[in-house]
A and B are shown apart, each in its own frame.
Chain A
Amino acid sequence: MISQKLFNNRIIFSVILILLLFAPLFLTDFRLNLLGKFLAFAILAIGLDLLWGYTGVLSLGHGIFFGLGAYAMAMYLKLEATGGQLPDFMAWSGMSELPLIWIPFQYPIVAIALGILIPAAIAFFLGYLTFRNRISGVYFTILSQALVLVLVTLFVGAQNLTGGTSGLTNFKTLFGYSVNSPASQMVFYFITVGVLAIIFISCRILVKGRFGKVLVGIRDGENRMRFLGYNPSTYKTFVYTLSAAIAGIAGMLFVLQVGIISPTMIGIIPSIEMVLWVALGGRGTLIGPVIGAVFVNAAKTGFSESYPEFWTYFLGLMFVLVVVFLPKGITGLFTKWKERRQKQNDTASIEVSKSYSRL
């Protein structure tokens, strides 16, 4: 009985949260920074799982929403770093004054708001225009991937506006505080943990209620839901928009802690890697993606430190293995194990009662 209570989801969540809150005591600044980065990814993974694990819509384009959030924050930081002057890459490409689309990003609150609103707006339009026409499944997945290709090409091409392939970096201050000092990195870490907790809890409330049931219904039988009087396209559009907004938040937290954003971090391969976090952790649960994101990225950091070229083999192999052998991910293994234990307990108690009756 005690062991079963121990694995109650709420308890797992609290244990993880406490561990994360006390992590700064055990980790060096460098490792803490890495963990903060992984947690930013975990935030994104929750949003992606809401879309894929619960609603059954696979997006291979979340890197771009992440990137839009990250760029919004980076543009503000860049302007703050140059102190009202033109960023260096703009001067190099021969511009004399701040372009129109950069002007709102001078104000931190506007930049943060846009970092959430722009990805949400793009997702809303694409989602509305495709789901409305009942374009779903593989078709939508391909379109979402094409969106990445198009926007990344745009980011690389508009070098005078986005810094091209080298992206945006060399940030100095946020609200007047230095971005790179260990103290502010610590603050960013705690903010990330806080945001992760808030998003996790609100998504949990969302999926535990009737709304979540409708999402699962759409995943398992879209037409049945339609016959029952729900409009799946509204739900899908909403979840897609929501998960894009969450990805934008994750992107902003990422750029604060990593200090650089470039098109290679948001392209096709990073976008599809994000799907692996969810798949490996366990889709259809909220804790799974968090575990998956931290685990895969920790593995990636470990691999890249020692064998950079093997990471690609490993990544490819993981996709195949997870999909074929572990469709429910790590959390799936865990539930299976729990069920088996429970079954054993049940049979044991039956035998006991049998032996009693014999007496």
Chain B
Amino acid sequence: MTEMILTLFNGISLGSILLLIALGLAITFGLMNVINMAHGELIMVGAYITYLVQNIFMQYAPEKYFDLYFILSIPLALIVAAGVGVLLEVSLIRHLYKRPLDSLLATWGVGLILQQLARTIFGAPNVGVQSPSFLNGGLELGSITFPYSRIFILLLSLICLACIFYYFYRTASGRRVRAVMQNRQMAECLGVSTRKVDMLTFAIGSGLAGVAGCALTLLGAIGPTIGTSYIIDAFMVVVVGGVGALFGAVAGAFGIGIFNTIFEFLTNATLGKVLIFILIIAFLQWRPSGIVINRSRSLD
């Protein structure tokens, strides 16, 4: 029983990380039909920002304020990653609009360059980030311990989800994003600046990746390839979840996270990966366009 609860908790925790990563991917994919292969490297940017902020605090800040570095690095990671994302959108992706496979390859090239850049600047070995003291230890319930860091990540991703939900469904700007997502040409005719919407959405998606990177520093050492280990699972979330609604991403992320952990618990890490892939293929036989289908009459 204890083990089962713990497995479930780990699954939910993995799901929350995937959600944080996949939210950005799903939004940009739903809007522009662009899969940003450099998304994993935006996670890396967020993680290294956290590392840098930590180092600055270690050197200049009084020791009792050290824990504040983490609080500060979340918005900073968001802003820097969003900036990198906007740069990417303006300089590259907007030129490849309507060529989804090409933009996939080009962004992969950018990701590779960013990864190597990190290797040149910070060195190939992983670097450690010291978790803030208030996230050490865990919540003890009976004989089970839930680490605070994982609870924090879960809360963080839920807060991000709530913010995105509020933005999409309760603000004028979010309404414009949804309009473009549903029918780009019609939205354009009605005076929505699709250029601005694209840029803004891309910034949000990239910013979320930065936050995810910041969160990942709580779970272990960070290196240039930190993003790649999660990114394919995050792509799977987009495939399973479908595009056009946030609910798909949420269900996909927690579904994959929980099943992944359960399979790995029942078999082993390698076989678990095979099983989850087979499960995804099987699921797509039942729902080829994912959990949430954006119904429209357009064909191509």
Residue-by-residue, is A211-240 near B (CB-CB < 8 Å gives 1, otherwise 0)? 000000000011100000000000000000
Closest to B300 in A: A223
For A315, what are the chain B residues with a Cβ–Cβ distance below 8 Å? 109, 112
* A-B residue pairs, 4 tightest by C-beta: A319-B109, A157-B270, A316-B112, A133-B288
Closest to B116 in A: A312
Q: Does A137 contact B (CB under 8 A)?
A: yes
Q: Of B102, B239, B274, B281, which contacts A142 at CB under 8 A?
A: B239
Closest to A132 in B: B285
B109 touches A141 (CB 8 A): no
Q: Of B35, B95, B112, B288, which contacts A319 at CB under 8 A?
A: B112
Q: Of B105, B113, B281, which contacts A323 at CB under 8 A?
A: B105
Q: Does A145 contact B (CB under 8 A)?
A: yes
Q: Does A146 contact B (CB under 8 A)?
A: yes
Q: Does A272 contact B (CB under 8 A)?
A: yes
For A138, what are the chain B residues with a Cβ–Cβ distance below 8 Å? 29, 33, 35, 100-101, 104
Known: A133-B284, A221-B300, A312-B113. 18 other contacts (CB 8 A): A134-B288, A138-B101, A146-B232, A147-B277, A150-B273, A157-B269, A157-B271, A272-B105, A276-B105, A309-B116, A312-B116, A312-B119, A313-B116, A320-B110, A323-B102, A323-B103, A323-B109, A324-B92
B281 touches A327 (CB 8 A): no
For B29, what are the chain A residues with a Cβ–Cβ distance below 8 Å? 138
B105 touches A319 (CB 8 A): yes
Q: Does B183 contact A (CB under 8 A)?
A: no
Q: Of B104, B106, B116, B235, which contacts A324 at CB under 8 A?
A: B106
Q: Of A146, A158, A316, A318, which contacts B277 at CB under 8 A?
A: A146
Min CB distance, A210 to chain B, in Å?
A: 24
Q: Does B172 contact A (CB under 8 A)?
A: no
Q: Does A168 contact B (CB under 8 A)?
A: no
Chain A: interface residue total (CB-CB under 8 A): 43
Q: Does B96 contact A (CB under 8 A)?
A: yes
In the assembled complex, the Cα of A137 lies from the Cα of B269 at a distance in Å of 30
Residue-by-residue, is B205-242 near A (CB-CB < 8 Å gives 1, otherwise 0)? 00000000000000000000000100010011011000
Report the number of A-B residue pairs with Cβ-Cβ less than 8 Å.
118
B106 touches A323 (CB 8 A): yes
A150 touches B274 (CB 8 A): yes
Q: Does A58 contact B (CB under 8 A)?
A: yes
Q: Does A143 contact B (CB under 8 A)?
A: yes
Min CB distance, A275 to chain B, in Å?
A: 7
Which residues of chain B (226-284) have a CB below 8 Å from chain A? 228, 232, 235-236, 238-239, 268-271, 273-274, 277, 280-281, 284
B236 touches A130 (CB 8 A): no
Min CB distance, B212 to chain A, in Å?
A: 18
Min CB distance, A4 to chain B, in Å?
A: 31
In the assembled complex, the Cα of A153 lies from the Cα of B229 at a distance in Å of 12
Q: Does B171 contact A (CB under 8 A)?
A: no
B interface: dominant SS: helix
In the assembled complex, the Cα of A126 lies from the Cα of B277 at a distance in Å of 11
Q: Does B111 contact A (CB under 8 A)?
A: yes
Residue-by-residue, is B35-66 near A (CB-CB < 8 Å gives 1, otherwise 0)? 10000000000000000000000000000000
Which residues of chain A (107-147) have a CB below 8 Å from chain B? 126, 129-130, 133-135, 137-139, 141-143, 145-147
In the assembled complex, the Cα of A221 lies from the Cα of B299 at a distance in Å of 11
Q: Does B120 contact A (CB under 8 A)?
A: yes
For B104, what are the chain A residues with a Cβ–Cβ distance below 8 Å? 58, 138, 141
Q: Does A246 contact B (CB under 8 A)?
A: no
Which residues of chain B (100-141) have a CB below 8 Å from chain A? 100-106, 108-113, 115-116, 119-120
Q: Does A203 contact B (CB under 8 A)?
A: no
For A299, what are the chain B residues with a Cβ–Cβ distance below 8 Å? none
Which residues of chain B (69-123) have a CB below 8 Å from chain A? 92, 95-96, 99-106, 108-113, 115-116, 119-120
Which residues of chain A (162-178) have a CB below 8 Å from chain B? none
Most chain A CB inside 10 Å of its own CB: which residue of B111, B112, B269, B274: B112
Closest to A136 in B: B288
In the assembled complex, the Cα of A157 lies from the Cα of B267 at a distance in Å of 12
B239 touches A139 (CB 8 A): yes
Closest to B114 in A: A316
Closest to A327 in B: B102
B95 touches A154 (CB 8 A): no
Q: Does A317 contact B (CB under 8 A)?
A: yes
Q: Does A265 contact B (CB under 8 A)?
A: no
In the assembled complex, the Cα of A149 lies from the Cα of B270 at a distance in Å of 10
A133 touches B109 (CB 8 A): no
Q: Of A129, A145, A147, which contacts B285 at CB under 8 A?
A: A129
Q: Of A134, A143, A272, which contacts B239 at CB under 8 A?
A: A143
If A138-B100, A141-B101, A323-B96 touch, whether A312 touches B109 (CB-CB below 8 Å) is: no
Q: Does A156 contact B (CB under 8 A)?
A: yes
In the assembled complex, the Cα of A154 lies from the Cα of B267 at a distance in Å of 13
If A133-B288, A275-B105 touch, whether A316 touches B113 (CB-CB below 8 Å) is: yes
A272 touches B108 (CB 8 A): yes
Which residues of chain B (18-40) have a CB below 8 Å from chain A? 29, 33, 35
In the assembled complex, the Cα of A149 lies from the Cα of B110 at a distance in Å of 21
In the assembled complex, the Cα of A157 lies from the Cα of B274 at a distance in Å of 11
